[in-house]
Amino acid sequence: MFDRDYWHEIGSSLAKNKIRTVLTAFGVFWGIFMLMIMIGSGSGLKNGVNNGMGDFATNSVFMWTRQTTIPYKGLPRNRSFYYRNDDIQALKDNIPELEILAPRLEGGGRQSGNNVIRKEKAGAFSIYGDYPEWNLIDPANIDQGRFLNQIDILQNRKVAVIGKRVLEVLFNKDENPIGQYVQINGVYFQVVGVFSPKNQNMNFGGDKEQSIHIPFTTLQKVYNYGDVVGWFAMTSKKDISVTVVEEKAKHLLKERHKVAPEDERAIGFFNLQKEFDQMTGLFAGINGLIWVVGIGTLLAGVIGISNIMLVIVKERTREIGIMRALGATPSKIMAQIIGESVFLTTLAGYTGLVIGVFIIEMIDKNLPAAATSDTMFLHPTIDFKVAVSALIILVISGVLAGLIPARRAISIKPIDALRFE
């Protein structure tokens, strides 16, 4: 394997027709190069989507009410109904698979005009009544102060956690908002925290930076909602599908609000885990397609090398005959031909791999950082195991490409080879 003459013979053989060697090797180079580019692009797309979701709880389901479509227990169809405060405890008591429950109310959107005022400044923002658990389902970066806590809920405190854009609109640049008051629909709230979202792709009602969180119970009183709950956000316990929670919650809520069990439209819901699983399956399919296309392209180059090796064997028929006459064994002849094929395939493929990885790294360095980017393409990478797998495929491909020509070479009888012109 490390015989100097052996490698000299390989180099001499491939150098006899440089243009033919280069053009043949280009097929393998292009195959592995495109495989690396596609793998890196696939990982960049996946990372971009995952970054867009941030730390949002993927094992979550969201549930709200709609009009009934089936008469039930003397109640007509097209009946509107609302979740109530006592549904909160009922869900906790009857669904052991439930991990986090976060009721939510919306206190009017910014479409209605400027609804938040501070001194001479005003703005139109989304107002949400939340429990502290909401920040476990859709975590945010608390830049100043704190988020809502359980005491805020129990004491109906008039406190607010404002988004980054709200801060920019209502406060001066160097002004500390903590402890200051803002007027929301005529009611004064003390600012206890400032947040910036960890993701913008998962939105419920508008731009998160232009929203304000106040205690759930306080919003009910301020907007005179009574004990109405807008909708529920729920997550399941570890290793339990949130679909289990979804089905049990729908059954319980239908029963409590006299909705027909077969009425599929009365309760609206969004199962994020199902969407996330579909997205994961999509990326797995994309990754599989990338390997199929990349290996197919590589195979075309390997076939080209195999064909050119057959031509080389034919051109060297007389040389092979002389080697056999001088005592070269069939295994040595095969090793020579396969060695040339493996060398050419590996050299071309490794060059394509290195250039492909280099381009992906350059793209990665010139993309914006994850913390400041909303792009769907982020941090393209090529896993080290993938690169090693590609090299193994190259070596195996080189062996296969040289196998047929090598068998052709040893099938020629020495006497016939010496007579070949």
32-84, pLDDT tens digit by residue?
888 888 888 888 888 877 776 667 888 999 999 999 999 999 999 999 999 99
The rounded distance, in Å, linking the Cα atoms of 412 and 321 is 8
Q: Over 60: is that where the pLDDT of 417 sits?
A: no
Q: Nearest-5° angle of CA 254, CA 260, CA 263?
A: 95
CA atoms within a 13 Å half-sphere pointing along the CA-CB vector of 9: 19
Of the chain, the percentage scoring pLDDT greater than 70 comes to 83
Q: What are the boundaries of each domain within the chain? A: 4-54+277-419, 67-107+223-265, 116-213
Q: Over 80: is that where the pLDDT of 141 sits?
A: yes
Distances (CA, A) of 192 to 94, 109, 147, 345, 362: 34, 21, 7, 65, 43
Amino acid at 285: G
Q: What is the mean pLDDT of residues 216-225?
A: 93
238-257, pLDDT tens digit by residue?
889 999 999 999 999 999 99
- 212 closest CA partner among 182, 173, 179: 182
Q: Which residues contact 404 (CB under 8 A, 6 or more apart)?
A: 306, 309, 310
- pLDDT score, position 102: 95
385-394, pLDDT tens digit by residue?
877 787 787 7
- pLDDT score, position 65: 95
- pTM recorded for the entire structure: 0.72
